[in-house]
Each structure stands twice: as structure tokens, then as C-alpha cells.
Chain A
Amino acid sequence: MTVTEEPAVTQAPPREVGRPRRRKEDARLITGRTTWTDNMVLPGMLHLAVVRSPVAHARITGIDVSAARSAPGVVAVFTGRDFADEQGSIPCAWPVTPDMVNPGHPSIAVETVNHVGEAVAVIVARSRTAAADAVELVDVDYDLLPVVLDMEQALADGADRVHDHIGSNESYRFVFDAGEAGTGADTEQAFADAEVVVSRRFVQQRLIPAFMEPRAVVVQPQGDNYTMWSATQVPHILRLMLAMITGVPEHKLRVVAPDVGGGFGGKLQVTPEEVLSLLVARRLGKPVKWAETRSESLMSAHHGRDQIQYIDIAADREGNVKGLRCRILADMGAYLRLVSPGVPVLGAFMFAGIYKFPAYRFDCSGVFTNKTPTDAYRGAGRPEATFAVERIMDELAVELGMDPLELRRKNWIRPEEFPFTTVAGLEYDSGNYDAATQQALELIGYDELRAEQQRRREANDPVQLGIGFSTFTEMCGLAPSRVLGSLSYGAGGWEHAAIRMLPTGKVEVVTGSSPHGQGHETAWSQLVADTLGVPFEDVEVLHGDTSVAPRGLDTYGSRSLVVGGAAVVRAAEKVIAKARKVAAHLLEASEEDLDYSGGTFSVRGTPGAGVSIQEIALATFAAHNFPEGVEPSIDADATFDPVNFSFPHGTHICAMEVDTETGMVKIRKYACVDDVGTIVNPLIVEGQVHGGLAQGIAQALYEEAVYDADGNLTTGTFVDYLVPSAADLPHFDTGNTVHEAPGNPIGAKGVGEAGCIASTPAVVNAALDAVRHLGVRDIRMPLTPERVWRALHDGGDGGDRATAGTNAYGGAQTETTAGVSTPQSALGGDR
């Protein structure tokens, strides 16, 4: 090791943050040259297949597994009885109220089944095919119980109950009252005094996350150690929870999330199948794999949304809002999963949106039904809140005869008022709603569209045009640990990172925020390249394996960059601080006289004397010539716990054509301007916005999980559960304003959910704007052509859809769910 006279790098490399870098990880992800969990093959590995209930609610009176057990290739068949004593309950980490009722969630049903698709037996076989064949041989007798599907009926007196052993179908009632909390005025009084009150009932339909890679798990026992590979968003949480449920000590359990193909919250879970895989591997002492089919996934992976919202808004005649009152019924499904009850609570503080409501009350009941449990889905609680407030603002504008944008402007927080404490007690960090709105109006060509709308109206054109707004904000960067504690969440919200300087000067970054498609490897490399002054290519990001990245809280809630990225920056700063001591020693200078820039320490006032971080890394490795009393390492780690959330905001505008003859809606133009704080990689931000828009628009127009009267999921394949493709979506005109988030060293606010949270109400508002003059007041989501047509012709909100699956695809709706033939399982064919 030598101290160079002329530092190798004289010019600082161009700043990485802000560069539209193509994602490092994409080539391998897109071409599949990587290890997805289902690709894994271990010596002697056995395959699991799950027998699922074809009925929504029943007592299991008998299970005959003898035929399955003796089928070719079958090693074992287990039922709930076999694991009753060791399976515990799927954990619920978020008891939102002290008296919340959790009925317990067995991974495999023991006495009763409570939704279609619940596991009732598990086949273990030498091949996947043998396991699939044996599923049909398990014979289960069900004693049918009344099915509870409708939340409003479920809460009525004398309603049938989902769970016999608990008193009602209500799991909890969570109330936030600004008056009582001291963050606002008395809500009842505000409504009593109001000149105008508008009340609406909105339905947030049930959605299915529909991640691209179906779930898969592999478990390998080694002595009394277990390694689990899982297509999960949350390897760290999974490890902790599995240890708590199964009694396998935490230090004997390693969880690996290899490359994971999307999650959208759908893999923020401790799934019954993960628990079962571990239990079977432990019981048999053999490696096992479970990989789901797409129809299994749609039926049994957790769903999202599903709220009925009764929203009241109070205002004066001039359009100054006076109060907001939200009564919410949130469908939990049959059980509470990891954060099921918490999803509506994540929205509880966001219903006020960007508006200065003086009074606010949120009152939510978590309700059990005989359906698949719900849990986090992209936005988790915040899309529901945003939809409610952005829809009710339009309804109020109509009532007052005001322009919807004018009404919003009148009530939103002014730029000079930041930081602003809302009626829900949150402190919004930064932003400028006027600026974003102005830019969005220009992007979409607002005046021209309004003129065309006028022309079409006057001409009574069969195709009408509407324009809809959503001026949203959301709460990102989950989360300040103390706040989570105050909301009774079972964990903190910090994130961890470590940086390891390798002898050759290359850099390993370990992040606890385990990605599943977001591009962490690229963005983290950019952050480290700038902070350490090393080339982007020299940074490798390691993640997802609890033995490599031992501490972390994973990826969800638009938290990764804001919290996890901040930890990376902090760790890099610590590396520099350690390296500074070494540099001072090598340069025989005092630490205070050193400048660090472009990856090199130089001595102020002594041109030409410098040492690079790479040289310091090698010197540290050799440790031949090291400062006295300093340990030979410049590696560092950091844990970042934010003090506040960050609050991205933006203005989304949708222009919608409605064919009044058929009810078909078609987005003509879509423009949005998002403020997500500092943009580390514009390409990734754009990609996240596009994907979010696709999902938010999909909620407005396409997606809905539909159950029939018996509790069968009739949208059991992608033929009936419509996920739009690029061909179905418009061009997006996107823009940004940048107001840095003050709460983290990067200044980023989070972008993962923005598009999904913002877009849905803009789309619905646009459709309604097109046809309101024809007498339409509301249309229920998704805005199927039939619903739009019915709303136009029969009045009402378009009503329920028929629940039968389409006859297309040869009626192939749902995989047979079990070996018993019930009317419910004999789907398809003769209808």
C-alpha cells in the first residue's frame, strides 16, 4: 500500500442521485436468470399440495385420507388434527384496540372451515404431480353452516355468526375523534351548526393483490436448524413470527427471500402455507416445497380493500369545510392475519386529506365474514381514505354548485402553512398543492378538454367527456417506532443497513429492507456512490437473507428509500468517519485538516497529497500500518428510525370518455404531478408511478373479487378477475414538483404507493363528471360498462353484478378445491 502523490481520482464523479439509471437487477429478473423460490431443487425434496375447502362455512365431520395416503408417490397426508397442538395461530401483530377480538387463525382447519380455500389437508409426495393427483382423493365430510357474507347484515342483531365461540361478527371498533383527542373541534357540534351536509355511502370493493410470482416456500431442516426460502416481502418479520408460533428458536431459523416477483402487500404476511411447510419439514425431517397455482393464489392469498364507507361532510354555503365524519365497516374476512385490523387504521388519519377540516371523527368496525382474510394491499388504508375524501369533495362541490377544483383550493393547506398539523394530529412535512395542480392542469390541456366537454354536452353526443381530480396526500415512510407503539402495532418501524468495504475497494451494502421488484439494488448503489464517492458499478446490494442481513423490517408502506435508504446513507457516513482516522494516519495529517470528496481524502493546503477510500480499504485489510488503538475495520452499520412520516402529495387529473349507449368508459388522457421529495432515480420513480396508476385505475374500472351467495369466489381466474394490461391503459403524462422531506437525510418521501392511492378517485370523479348532467349520482366500482349503463338508464349506482363467472374459457373458473364433489366444487361445464 502506498500513499499516492497524485490522487487517482481528481475530478468528482457525476452525481448519481437524480440520474435515470437503468435498474441493475432487471436483466436477471426479466430473463429469469435468478433463483425464484419455485426454481429451487434440494436433494430429497418432497412436494406439498394443499387440499382446500370448497365450502365457505362448515363443520368438518370427517376426513378420509386413506386413498390419498396409498396413492403412488405419496409419503404422508396430514390434516388439522395432526398439527392441532403445534400449529398455534397465524399471528396478528396489530391489536388495534385493547378489546379487539381475535378468534385465532389455524394454518390448517381443525374443526370448522370459515372460507372457501381454507386448508383442510396437506399432501406430501415425491413429486409435484403425485401431490396434485392425490388432492382429489381426500374425502372430507362437511356439515354446512350458515354463510355470512354481507357486512351490514353481519352486524345486525341476531345475525348468523362466522365464529361460534365469539359473541358477534365485530372484531373491534376503532374510534378516532379529533374533539376528544384535542386535535380538532367537536364533530357533532360542527355538523349541528353546518349550513350544508352531504352524506354518501361508498363501497371499496374487495381486491386481489395478484402479484406476478405466485407464492412459494421451500424448507430445509439441517439438524435442529431450519432454512426457509419464501417468496415473501418480509423475511425478517416472518422469521420472528415463525419462531414465536412454532417454537423453533429464532437463532435456529434462517429465512431467505430470494428474488421475489412482486407483492403489493400480498406477501406482507405470515401465511398458513409457510407455517405448514415448516411443520411438515420438522415432522418428516425432510426438505419440502410448496408452490401455489394461480387459482389457489387468487382464492387463498389475502385480499385487500373491502370497506363500506358512510361519509358525511359539513360545510358552509361559501364552501368552507367544517367537519368530516366517517363510519367505516372494514371486512376482515374469516380471520385476522398479520395486519388485517391495522389496514383501516393506517387510513384513519388520512381521511381529511389535504384539507383544513376543523372537526373530524373516524369510527371503524372490523367485521368478520366467511371470505378470504383481507390484509395489506398497495396503499393499505390510504387509498380507501383518499377515495372517500376526494369523492365527497366532488359531491360537496355539486351540492354547492361550485367548481370541484375551486372548492379544493379554498380548503387545502397553503404552501406557507407547512409544517401543518392536521385535524387528525399528523404533521404534514412539506409541499405545494397549488404548484402541483397548476402543472397538472397544463400537462393535461385542461381548458381545451373543458371546451370539448361543453361541445359534447351541447351536441348531446353519445360519447360524453368528463374530467376528474384527485388532489391527494399520503402517509409514507413507515414508520416512527414510537408512533407505531402508540397505535399498538407489534413492532417498530426503523430500518437497518450495513456497509462492508472489501479489500479491493468494492462495496457491499447490506439492507434490511428486502425488495421484491422495486429496484433497491440500483437506488441504494446510487446513494452509496454519492456518499462514499465510489463508482456505481462497484456497489453490490445484499438483502433478503436473515443470515446476511440479520436486522431489518422489510419493504412495504413506501418505506424502503425513506427509512432503509436513510440507514444506508447514515452507514456510509460512518464509514467515512472511520476512514478519516485511517487517512489521517496514512497522510500524517490531522483529521480536521482532511477534506473528503469524490472518494478521496486530501489535506487542506497541501495539493497532491491524498488517499482514496479504496486504498484505505486495502490498508484496513492489511492492517500493517494502522493508527494506534483503532480496530482495523472501516465497516459500519446504522439503524434509522424516523421521527415523522413523510407526506408525498400530488394532483391527478383524469379525462374520461363515456359511451352512453353501451356504458363503456375509456380514459382519454391522464396527467399527474407528484411530489415525492428528492428523486434518487427518475426512471424508477416514473416506473412506480406508472405501476401504481395501473393498479389504481384497475380498482376504478376493472378489478373486483366477487363471491356468490354460497361464498364461492367466482372471480377465480384471470378470465373473471380482470387485471388490465398495457393495452388497456392510456398514455400517462407525469410530472413532479420537489419539496424535500425534512425528516430523512435523502429528502425523499416515498413513491411506491402514490399512483395507486391517488388515481382511483380521479377516475371515478371523471366518469361521474361526464354523466352527472344525465342524472347519474354515483357508480359503484369497478365501473363495468353494465354498471355505467344501468346507472344511466335505471338510476342508482349500477347495482350488484351477477355473480356467475363468464361462460368463456369453457367455464373454467376455479380449480376444483377438494376431492369431494359438492355443487360448489363442480364448477364449470354445465351452466
Chain B
Amino acid sequence: MIPAAFEYARPTTVDEALQAIADGGEDVKILAGGQSLIPVMRLRLAAPETVVDLSRIEELRGVRDDGDALVIGAMTTHHDVLTDPLIAQHAPLIAAATETVADRQVRARGTFGGALAHADPAGDLPAVALALDAEFVIAGPGGRRTVPAADFFVDYLTTALEEGELLVEIRVPKLAGQWGMHYEKFNRVAQAWSIVAVAAVVRRDDGHIAEARIGLTNMGPTPLRARAAESALAGAEASAEAIAAAARSAAEGTSPSSDLNAQADYREHLAQVLTRRAVTAAAGL
């Protein structure tokens, strides 16, 4: 459990970090909280030439209000997300999901940006970012670009981040109107990843569900939106029956894996049950 030797850089600004990445050679890894990267290195499944540690870059930490959006610095720890008043006010779904991540020790080190950049399909935050239509601000040698969540998650452990780039912050649009949110996680022991989880964001209007956004965790190599269920819910009555009916299509278009925790057909079943529960809770029923 000792990583192979590597070069190490600890920049203090984003520009220095980009330089360090550019100078780092063939195989550079960015280190955020290290809660996913370090284990993989210790198991020698990754052996980067250079590790660029972002922990000293102050500008990447914290949550700020930017008018119509919240901006969460990539290096904001899970713990800081959980205790942030802006998140509690505008995006409680993020806090609800973050609370289910691992244990206290991991949450004290692991970061919001790291969890998204890692894009673990069993991770809880990618589906949340997808359900909230978050945007990812990426810095690279050629400047900054913004990628919508729908385009950020590309494949298993693969994102739109290109070599030499860095995730800087995540913009979460504030929601207008009467929204309810709920994260329904299904796992076997408290500190484990999701077998399946569902992030639901629901706007109610006059006894109806005006709009529902549903993010699915671990139902394929990337986080997914349950589009069929979302459209079945749009305009539907806010009733247990209507939600149950819509939830039956939650697994449409998914491609879950089969592993020790669950085989694909069971995951599909779970997606339906958990979607029903998540939407019901988010709709305040």
C-alpha cells in the first residue's frame, strides 16, 4: 500500500497550478482531497509521474452568491458544503447528498470538485449536479470554458476535462418558484457508496407537478437523467398514484452494471422504487 514514487507540486494559484500541470510530464494527476486518488495510487492502479496538489489554492475554496447562481469552489470540502448557509438555502439537495458521502473523516478531506472530476458512477454528487443543471468552469492553458453538466460526464471515470485542464468551480443556478428536493440513497452500510440513488428536484404548482428533474446515481457508466419519468411527471397530478406510475419508467435508457451489490435487473427495479420515493418526498407528499 505504498504508491510508486512521484514528483510533487503544491501551487498556490490556479495559474501556477496550470503551469505545474504543463510542466509535470506525461502523466500528471491533480490531487484534491485525495480520498479517491490516494487509494488508487496506493494500490498501484495509478502511478502518475507528477502529482499537483491543489490544497493550498485559496481561490478554489468556498461558496459564493453570484446573483442567479451559487458558485462552489472545486476545493470546497464535503464538510464545508454541509455547513454552508448558501447551500442550505438554495441547493439543499447538495447538502442532503453530501451528508450521505462516506464518513466524517472522508468528508473532512474530500472535495466537491474532486468528487465531480473523479466521476465515479457510484459517487453521489454527479447525479445531483446533473439534476440541478450545474455548470462546470474549467481552466486550461488557453483560458476558461464552461461546460453544462449534461456534457461534463462522458464515460466511466471520464469527464470533459482535457489534459492540462483543471476544474475551478461549479455554478449551480438558483431555482425560481416552489421547489422541493430529495436525495434517496440505497446502500448497505453507512459509509458505503450508492448501489443506486436518486436525486429529485420537483416544482409544484397548484396541486400539480410542474417540473421534475431526476438524477440517477450508478445506473450506468455516468450519472443519468431519468428523462422518461421526468416527462411523465411534467404536468401530472401531485398524487401517490401519478408519481408511482411515472416512476415505473425511471430505468428507461439506463445501462447499469452487475456487481457484488446488485445485478442490472435489480438496479433497474431499485431505480423505480427509489424514484417514486424521492419524487414523493421532494413533492412534499
Does A365 sit at the interface, judged by CB under 8 A?
Answer: no
Are the CB atoms of B4 and A728 closer together than 8 Å?
Answer: no
Q: Within the complex, which residue of A133, A295, A661, A806 is in contact with B261, where a contact is CB–CB below 8 Å?
A: A806
Bound CA–CA A810/B266 (angstroms): 22
Q: Are B189 and A810 in contact (CB under 8 A)?
A: no
A727-B191, A812-B40 are contacts. A806–B259 as well, Cβ < 8 Å?
A: yes
Residues of A within 8 A of B260 (CB): 706, 714-715, 720, 801-806
A812 and B45 contact, CB distance less than 8 A: yes
Assembly CA distance A714 to B259 (angstroms): 10
Q: Which of B2, B120, B261 contacts A810 (CB 8 A)?
A: B120
Residues on the B chain within 8 Å of A132, using CB: 2
Chain A residues with CB below 8 A from B190, complex form: 725, 727-728
The yes or no answer to A615 lying at the interface (CB within 8 A) is no
Is B5 among interface residues, defined by CB-CB distance under 8 A? yes
Q: How far is the CB of B116 from chain A (nearest CB, A)?
A: 14
CB contacts under 8 Å to A, within B15-68, are 36, 39-40, 43-45
B-side contacts of A717, CB under 8 Å: 43
Query: In the complex, A269 Cα to B263 Cα: how many Å?
Result: 37
B270 adjacent to chain A (CB < 8 Å): yes
Chain B residues near A822: list those with CB within 8 A.
none
Q: Does A451 contact B (CB under 8 A)?
A: no
Option from A128, A809, A816, A829 in Cβ contact (under 8 Å) with B193: A809
Is A417 an interface position by the 8 A CB rule? no
Q: Confirm or deny: B258 has a beta carbon within 8 angstroms of a beta carbon on chain A.
A: yes
Does B118 count as interface, using CB distance less than 8 angstroms?
Answer: yes
- A812-B186 contact, Cβ under 8 Å, with A293-B1, A805-B259: no
**Is the pair B270, A810 in contact by a Cβ cutoff of 8 Å?**
no
| Most chain B beta carbons < 10 A, residue from A128, A706, A806, A829 | A806
Which residue of the partner chain A has the closest CB to B193? A808
Q: Chain B residues with Cβ under 8 A from A714's Cβ?
A: 260
Chain A positions 245-298 with a Cβ under 8 Å from a chain B Cβ: 293-295
Query: Is A811 positioned at the interface, with any CB of B under 8 Å from its CB?
Result: yes
Q: Mark A416-458, 1 if CB is under 8 A from B, else 0.
A: 0000000000000000000000000000000000000000000
**Complex: how many Å from CA A720 to CA B120?**
15
- Chain B, interface size: which category? 35 or more
Q: Given A719-B192, A816-B43: A784 and B1 within 8 A (CB)?
A: no
Decide if B242 is an interface residue (CB 8 Å cutoff). no
B270 / chain A contacts, CB cutoff of 8 Å: 662
Number of interface residues of A (CB under 8 A): 49
Q: Residues 524-560 of chain A: 1 if any B CB is under 8 Å from the residue's CB, otherwise 0?
A: 0000000000000000000000000000000000000
| Per-position binary interface string of chain A over residues 715-745, scored 1 when its CB falls under 8 Å from any chain B CB and 0 otherwise | 1010110111101100000000000000000
CA distance A724 to B192 in the complex (A): 10
Distance (whole angstroms) from the CB of B54 to the closest CB of chain A: 18
Q: Does A828 contact B (CB under 8 A)?
A: yes
Per-residue CB contact flags for chain B residues 133-149 toward chain A (1 = under 8 Å, else 0) read 00000000000000000
Q: Could you tell me if A807 and B122 are in contact, using CB atoms closer than 8 angstroms?
A: yes
Contact of A661 among B1, B36, B193, B273 (CB under 8 A): B273
Interface residues as binary, B187-224 with A (CB distance below 8 Å gives 1, 0 otherwise): 01111110100000000000000000000001000000
Q: Mark A27-53, 1 if CB is under 8 A from B, else 0.
A: 000000000000000000000000000
Quick check: B259 and A128 within 8 Å, CB to CB? no
A residues 612-662 near B (Cβ < 8 Å) are 661-662
A722 to B188, CA, bound (A): 8
Closest to A128 in B: B2
Q: Out of A136, A664, A720, A810, name the residue touching B45 (CB < 8 Å).
A: A810
Q: Is A815 an interface residue (CB 8 A)?
A: yes
**Which of A221-229, A349-357, A785-793 is near enough to bind chain B?**
A785-793
Cβ proximity bits B253-285 to A, threshold 8 Å, 1 near / 0 not = 000011111110010011001100000000000
Whose C-beta in chain B lies nearest to the C-beta of A701? B188
A814: interface (CB < 8 Å):
yes
CB of B7, distance to nearest CB on chain A (Å): 15
A-B contact count (CB 8 A): 119
| Residue contact A807 to B120, C-beta cutoff 8 Å | yes
In chain A, positions 656-702 with a C-beta closer than 8 Å to chain B are 661-662, 664, 702
Determine the distance from Cα of A230 to Cα of B121 in the docked complex, in whole angstroms: 41
A664 to B273, CA, bound (A): 12
Is the beta-carbon distance between A828 and B43 smaller than 8 angstroms? Answer: yes
Report B-chain residues with C-beta under 8 Å of the C-beta of A803.
260
Note all chain B residues with C-beta closer than 8 A to A827: 45
Closest-by-CB residue of A relative to B191 is: A725
CA distance A706 to B189 in the complex (A): 18
Instruction: Chain A residues near B36: list those with CB within 8 A.
Output: 809-810
Q: How far is the CB of B253 from chain A (nearest CB, A)?
A: 19
* A504 contacts partner chain B, Cβ-Cβ < 8 Å: no
Bound CA span A697–B125, Å: 31
| Contact A785 to B188, CB < 8 A, known contacts A807-B257, A808-B122, A809-B39 | yes
Interface 0/1 of B218-262, CB less than 8 Å to A: 100000000000000000000000000000000000000111111
User: A830 to B273, alpha carbons, bound, how many Å?
Assistant: 29
**Smallest Cβ distance from B275 to chain A, in angstroms?**
12
B157 within 8 A of partner (CB): yes
Nearest chain-B residue to A296 (Cβ)?
B1
Measured between alpha carbons, how far is A725 from B105 in the docked complex, in Å?
14
Give the complex CA separation of A717 and B273 in angstroms. Answer: 29
Q: Which of B123, B192, B259, B269 has the most CB of A within 10 A?
A: B259
Question: Once the chains bind, are A662 and B45 in contact (CB under 8 Å)?
Answer: no
Select from chain A the residue with minimum beta-carbon distance to B262. A786
Say yes or no: B43 contacts A815, CB within 8 Å: yes
Q: Does A66 contact B (CB under 8 A)?
A: no
Residues 771-821 of A at the B interface (beta carbon under 8 Å): 784-786, 789-790, 801-812, 814-816
B1, B4, B157, B257: which contacts A133 (Cβ < 8 A)? B4
For A70, the chain B residues whose CB sits under 8 A away are none
Kindly report which residue of chain B lies nearest to residue A659, judged by CB atoms.
B273
CB distance from A334 to the nearest CB of B (A): 23
Tell me whether A129 is interfacial, beta carbon within 8 Å: yes
B195 — nearest CB in chain A belongs to which residue? A785
Which of A128, A293, A811 has the largest count of B CB atoms less than 10 A from its CB?
Answer: A811
B195 / chain A contacts, CB cutoff of 8 Å: 785
Closest to A715 in B: B260
Is A806 touching B193 in the complex (CB atoms < 8 A)? yes
**CB-CB under 8 A for A789 and B266, given A806-B260, A815-B44:** yes
* Nearest neighbor of B267 in chain A, beta-carbon distance: A786
Q: How far apart are A61's CB and chain B's nearest CB, in angstroms?
A: 25
Q: Nearest-CB distance from B264 to chain A (Å)?
A: 9
Which residue of chain B has the shortest Cβ distance to A293 in the bound complex? B1
- Bound CA span A205–B156, Å: 32
The answer to whether A802 touches B120 (Cβ under 8 A) is: no
Cross-chain pairs A/B with CB under 8 angstroms, 10 sampled: A722-B188, A784-B261, A802-B259, A802-B262, A804-B260, A808-B123, A809-B120, A811-B45, A816-B44, A828-B45
Known: A662-B186, A807-B156, A808-B120. 17 other contacts (CB 8 A): A128-B2, A129-B5, A295-B1, A662-B273, A727-B190, A785-B186, A801-B260, A802-B258, A804-B258, A805-B259, A809-B120, A809-B122, A809-B193, A811-B157, A812-B39, A812-B40, A827-B45
A residues bordering B, Cβ < 8 Å?
Answer: 128-129, 132-133, 136, 293-295, 661-662, 664, 702, 706, 714-715, 717, 719-720, 722-725, 727-728, 784-786, 789-790, 801-812, 814-816, 827-831
Chain B positions within 8 Å of A, measured between CB atoms, are 1-2, 4-5, 36, 39-40, 43-45, 118, 120-123, 156-157, 186, 188-193, 195, 218, 257-263, 266, 269-270, 273-274
The 9 closest A-B pairs by CB, nearest first: A808-B193, A808-B122, A727-B190, A293-B1, A802-B258, A804-B259, A132-B2, A828-B45, A728-B189
